[in-house]
């Protein structure tokens, strides 16, 4: 957890890897995940690098693995996960893996091709047999003659003009959706000189490609004449019909049918043997594919990392540069020494100076990962600046709970998150592919704290599903008011609303021990009381939250050696913020503590006092809270306004004065040399350092880039305007805590009044009430989860997110860095 408050120290190391041991060393580093390699060959094309041939070979293997994986999925099998952590194989094993994979893929292609051919042949035999079994009776084609009628016989008498014509037949099968179009086209093209019979198969046949049952239409066409026969064959070919020979004699057709059935049985036996052999091949694929995919993926990653290295002039070693945590440098040295021991020459790693801003490394665990993700979504922190995540662990759930405070709703959210936490190690829970579930699961600890804090604020608000609970005795006594005010039956009949006067002795016994007194839920001014309380609470929380953000900036200034900013920025910012809005918080607390019920009628208005503070005026009707209040308010306003020019000009003038003083201290010759050298320095913004951040941790004093006063002044002016105006807008922005808390409470009240209260009043008898309340409670539960937990919870989450990103983090957090992305095989192993 030490690195949670500030990113770890990261160093740039140079690695000298012997050529013979480079692959082993990089593979070992990938298993440990310690370093992020820098590309030393950025100007070299990917096709001209040293290990491009090996990378291409791995890519070809990945294509073959993809084919095998598709075949396994096509067969309805599931790939088992690889057993254990598999290391990257040695380079000499790549050819062996490639040969085995290609041989297995070719064997699978051959078997799959034979299976498809056998299925297609079996399908043809089944179609042919179905055509013969359909019972189409051979019909003779009609000969159109002049004056033909319904009584004209279709067959001419022996010795007629058509005695030499021979009747021919075309039989086959076609898909059902093509049959009507085929029949119409045949009739029109042949002008009716044919007789066609179409029948649907009683039992569907298995499709040879998809394996799904398919319905077919068989047909039998009789015709006269060779030209008509050619037309029929061309049309059936266009419709992709399966055409089979058709014998006119019944005995010949029966014999052909028996022969087809025998051939089908033989093909089925051969097809069964082929499928059994295919299952054996797929079994070998299941054994080879999971470990092979992991190993080849690791091997490719190693070669891609080696392509980022440069070659020494002697071609005996590879030179690499990498970012590594200083904490992990001993482990890096040990890993390189162990990996290169067999070659007789040890790999070397040493730190080198660098002007570039190092990457940010913050180690997280399953608890802190979701909170760090909230911060990183705004922007990855600069190297070693204060990390807001540890404070977000508390402030984010708390601000959410202020808007979502309800014991019942918080308990439901807490139990949901607790269930995910308890089941987090189950493989089925981790392997769920639903995106919404994955989002909830990754933020389970965040939801856990949000629910827990919501229970706490629910007790503060004394709300459980919008109902107040009497945990402790109320601090108000109705009996004392009734006894001393002389309320009679006639008075109670005329006055439906009764007032409890805390000035009457015995009416107000003291504050409620914890939270809001439950008697306020019965009061007519309940909403007015909560509005006043929650609005002031929101302002107090907002000012404290922003002031805490300004204070955290102190640690940044001290760490980066910018102590002048403590006096020229932090102190003016705190004076401006606390002198105006901190004083508003003081007025609220002072009025709570010093104005009692006896003086409530003449209590001063804080809002009018705050407005008069800026106008330097006084309202005679609004009495002062304390003596010499006007003098104090005028002093605070003048002091806050005086901080603006200090905040605007202090830092630029200090930097300009220090820069000129350094230039005067340097010798003339050295000064000219440095001016010439400054032209070769990279731009500060390119390196990731702000121009006014004095290159903290980056350049030495003699290497500091030339200061541009206009840029520094412009940057400081933007910062000053943003902070001064932001104090006003950000304080008003925290009023969303009041607004959303009120909206959540009112929605809960409406849902209870419109659903549960009506349901409870429908039936007085036990049986009727039980029957009525089941659907009523079900509707109440569904709407509670859908509206109050999901919709209201998402709304409160987004508003809490905005308060942290805009109102809190911009006081000290720049978020202009980039993460350390170590070279690791962790994702491949998972």
Whole-number percent of the chain with pLDDT over 70: 89
Convert the pLDDT of each residue in 762-811 to its tens digit. Answer: 766 656 666 778 888 888 899 999 999 999 999 999 999 999 999 999 99
Instruction: Determine the Cα–Cα distance for residues 100 and 187; give it in Å rounded to an integer.
Output: 58
Helices (H), 134-246: 179-189, 226-238
Instruction: Determine the Cα–Cα distance for residues 398 and 415; give it in Å rounded to an integer.
Output: 18
Query: Which range has the worst mean pLDDT, 243-252, 328-337, 422-431, 510-519?
Result: 243-252
Instruction: Determine the Cα–Cα distance for residues 170 and 222; give it in Å rounded to an integer.
Output: 7
Do 427 and 482 form a contact (C-beta atoms < 8 A)?
no
Instruction: Determine the Cα–Cα distance for residues 449 and 398; give it in Å rounded to an integer.
Output: 8
pLDDT of residue 138: 52
pLDDT tier at 685 (50, 70, 90 boundaries)?
Answer: very low
**348 pairs with which residues across the strands?**
16
DSSP string, 533-570: HHHHHHHHHHHHHHHHHHHHHHHHHHHTT-THHIIIII
pLDDT of residue 27 exceeding 90, the answer is: yes
Buried b (16+ CB within 10 A) or exposed e, 127-140: bbbbbbebebebbe
Instruction: Determine the Cα–Cα distance for residues 515 and 457; give it in Å rounded to an integer.
Output: 9
pLDDT of residue 135: 57
Do 716 and 651 form a contact (C-beta atoms < 8 A)?
yes
Ramachandran quadrant class, 323 (left: phi over 0; alpha: psi -120 to 50; beta: rest): beta
pLDDT of residue 227: 84
Q: Is the dihedral of CA 271, 273, 276, 278 positive or negative?
A: negative
What mean pLDDT value characterizes the chain?
85
Across residues 815-828, what is the average pLDDT?
A: 88
Across residues 467-480, what is the average pLDDT?
A: 85
pLDDT tier at 385 (50, 70, 90 boundaries)?
Answer: very high
Across residues 424-432, what is the average pLDDT?
A: 84
Instruction: Determine the Cα–Cα distance for residues 364 and 562; give it in Å rounded to an integer.
Output: 29
Do 537 and 545 form a contact (C-beta atoms < 8 A)?
no
Instruction: Determine the Cα–Cα distance for residues 457 and 459; give it in Å rounded to an integer.
Output: 5
pLDDT of residue 597: 72
Convert the pLDDT of each residue in 210-224 to its tens digit. Answer: 778 888 888 888 888
Instruction: Determine the Cα–Cα distance for residues 534 and 540; give it in Å rounded to an integer.
Output: 10
Residue 451 tokens, joined? 């629910």
pLDDT of residue 375 exceeding 70, the answer is: yes
pLDDT of residue 702: 38
pLDDT of residue 584 exceeding 50, the answer is: yes
pLDDT tier at 692 (50, 70, 90 boundaries)?
Answer: very low
Helices (H), 595-701: 606-615, 629-665, 668-678, 684-687
Residue 291 tokens, joined? 């470990």
CATH, range 115-134+165-271:
3.30.70.2750
Greater model confidence, 234 or 144: 234
Ramachandran quadrant class, 356 (left: phi over 0; alpha: psi -120 to 50; beta: rest): beta
pTM value? 0.79
pLDDT tier at 830 (50, 70, 90 boundaries)?
Answer: low
Convert the pLDDT of each residue in 52-106 to its tens digit. Answer: 999 999 999 999 999 999 999 988 888 888 877 888 888 888 888 889 999 999 9
pLDDT of residue 136 exceeding 60, the answer is: no
pLDDT tier at 673 (50, 70, 90 boundaries)?
Answer: very low
pLDDT of residue 165 exceeding 80, the answer is: no
pLDDT tier at 683 (50, 70, 90 boundaries)?
Answer: very low
pLDDT of residue 247: 77
Instruction: Determine the Cα–Cα distance for residues 172 and 184; give it in Å rounded to an integer.
Output: 17
Greater model confidence, 687 or 788: 788
Going from N- to C-terminal start, the domains of the chain cover 8-106+275-349, 115-134+165-271, 367-474+509-519, 523-663+708-740
Convert the pLDDT of each residue in 712-751 to its tens digit. Answer: 999 999 999 999 999 999 999 999 999 999 999 999 999 9
Query: Which range has the worst mean pLDDT, 317-326, 573-582, 667-676?
Result: 667-676
Smallest CA-to-CA distance from 348 within 383, 326, 324, 317 is with 317
pLDDT of residue 599 exceeding 60, the answer is: yes
pLDDT of residue 126: 84
pLDDT of residue 768: 64
pLDDT of residue 146: 42
CA distances for 280 relative to 112, 209, 274, 413, 493, angstroms? 12, 21, 10, 51, 92
Across residues 408-416, what is the average pLDDT?
A: 95
pLDDT of residue 618: 85
Across residues 651-658, what is the average pLDDT?
A: 91
pLDDT of residue 153 exceeding 80, the answer is: no
């Amino acid at each position: 957890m030490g690195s949670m408050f500030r990113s770890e120290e990261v160093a740039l190391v140079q690695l000298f890897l012997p050529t013979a041991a480079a692959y082993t060393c990089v593979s070992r580093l990938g298993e440990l995940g310690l370093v992020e390699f820098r590309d030393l060959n950025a100007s070299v094309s990917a096709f001209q690098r040293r290990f491009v041939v090996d990378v291409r070979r791995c890519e070809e293997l990945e294509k073959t693995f993809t084919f095998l994986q598709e075949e396994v999925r096509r067969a309805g099998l599931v790939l088992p996960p690889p057993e254990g952590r598999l290391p990257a194989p040695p380079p000499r094993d790549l050819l062996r893996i490639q040969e085995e994979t290609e041989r297995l893929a070719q064997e699978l292609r051959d078997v799959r091709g034979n299976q498809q051919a056998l299925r297609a042949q079996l399908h043809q035999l089944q179609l042919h047999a179905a055509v013969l079994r359909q019972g189409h009776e051979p019909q003779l084609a009609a000969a159109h003659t002049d004056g033909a009628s319904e009584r004209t016989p279709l067959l001419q008498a022996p010795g007629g003009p058509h005695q030499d014509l021979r009747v021919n037949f075309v039989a086959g099968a076609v898909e059902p959706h093509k049959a009507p179009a085929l029949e119409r086209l045949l009739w029109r093209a042949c002008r009716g000189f044919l007789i066609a019979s179409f029948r649907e198969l009683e039992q569907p046949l298995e499709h040879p490609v998809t394996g799904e049952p398919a319905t077919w239409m068989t047909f039998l066409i009789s015709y006269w004449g060779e030209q008509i026969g050619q037309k029929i064959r061309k049309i059936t070919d266009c419709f992709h019909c399966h055409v089979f020979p058709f014998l006119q004699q019944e005995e010949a057709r029966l014999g052909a049918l028996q022969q087809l059935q025998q051939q089908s049985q033989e093909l089925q036996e051969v097809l069964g043997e082929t499928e059994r052999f295919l299952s054996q091949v797929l079994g070998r694929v299941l054994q080879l594919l999971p470990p092979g995919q992991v190993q080849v993926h690791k091997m490719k990653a190693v070669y891609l990392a080696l392509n980022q290295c440069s070659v020494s002039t002697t071609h005996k070693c590879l030179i690499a540069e990498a970012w590594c945590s200083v904490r992990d440098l001993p482990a890096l040295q040990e890993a390189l020494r162990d990996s290169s021991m067999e070659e007789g020459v040890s790999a070397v790693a040493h730190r080198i100076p660098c002007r570039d801003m190092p990457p940010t490394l913050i180690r997280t665990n399953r608890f802190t990962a979701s909170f760090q993700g909230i911060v990183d979504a705004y922007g990855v922190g600069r190297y070693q600046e204060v990390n807001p995540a540890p404070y977000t662990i508390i402030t984010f759930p708390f601000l959410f709970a202020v808007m979502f405070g309800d014991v019942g709703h918080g308990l439901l959210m807490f139990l949901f998150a607790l269930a995910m936490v308890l089941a987090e190690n189950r493989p089925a829970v981790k392997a769920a592919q639903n995106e919404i579930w994955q989002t909830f699961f990754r933020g389970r600890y965040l939801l856990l704290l949000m629910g827990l804090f919501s229970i706490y604020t629910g007790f503060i608000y004394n709300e459980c599903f919008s109902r107040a609970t009497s945990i402790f005795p109320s601090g108000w006594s109705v009996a004392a008011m009734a006894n001393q005010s002389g309320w009679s039956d006639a008075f109670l009949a005329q006055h439906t609303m009764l007032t409890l006067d805390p000035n009457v002795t015995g009416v107000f016994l003291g504050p409620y021990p914890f939270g809001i007194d439950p008697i306020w839920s019965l009061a007519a001014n309940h909403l007015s009381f909560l509005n006043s309380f929650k609005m002031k609470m929101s302002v107090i929380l907002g000012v404290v939250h922003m002031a805490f953000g300004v204070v955290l900036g102190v640690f940044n200034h001290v760490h980066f050696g910018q102590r002048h900013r403590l006096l020229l920025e932090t102190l003016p910012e705190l004076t401006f913020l606390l002198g105006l809005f901190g004083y508003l918080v003081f007025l609220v607390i002072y009025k709570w503590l010093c104005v009692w019920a006896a003086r409530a009628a003449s209590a001063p208005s804080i809002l009018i006092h705050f407005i008069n503070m800026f106008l330097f005026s006084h309202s005679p009707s609004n009495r002062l809270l304390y003596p010499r209040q006007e003098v104090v308010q005028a002093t605070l306003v003048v002091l806050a306004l005086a901080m603006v020019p200090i905040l605007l000009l202090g830092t630029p003038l200090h930097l300009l004065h220090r820069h000129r003083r350094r230039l005067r201290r340097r010798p003339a010759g050295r000064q000219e040399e440095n001016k010439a050298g400054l032209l070769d320095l990279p731009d500060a913004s390119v390196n990731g350092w702000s121009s006014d951040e004095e290159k903290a941790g980056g350049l030495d004093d003699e290497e500091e880039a030339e200061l541009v006063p206009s840029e520094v002044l412009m940057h400081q002016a933007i910062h000053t305007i943003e902070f001064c105006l932001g104090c006003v807008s950000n304080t008003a922005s925290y009023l969303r805590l009041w607004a959303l808390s009120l909206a959540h409470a009112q929605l809960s009240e409406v849902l209870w009044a419109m659903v549960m209260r009506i349901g409870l009043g429908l039936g007085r008898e036990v049986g009727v009430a039980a029957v009525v309340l089941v659907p009523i409670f079900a509707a109440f539960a569904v709407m509670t989860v859908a509206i109050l937990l999901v919709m209201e919870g998402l709304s409160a989450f987004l508003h809490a997110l905005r308060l942290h990103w805009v109102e809190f983090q911009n006081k000290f957090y720049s978020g202009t860095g980039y993460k350390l992305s170590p070279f690791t095989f962790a994702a491949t192993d998972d």
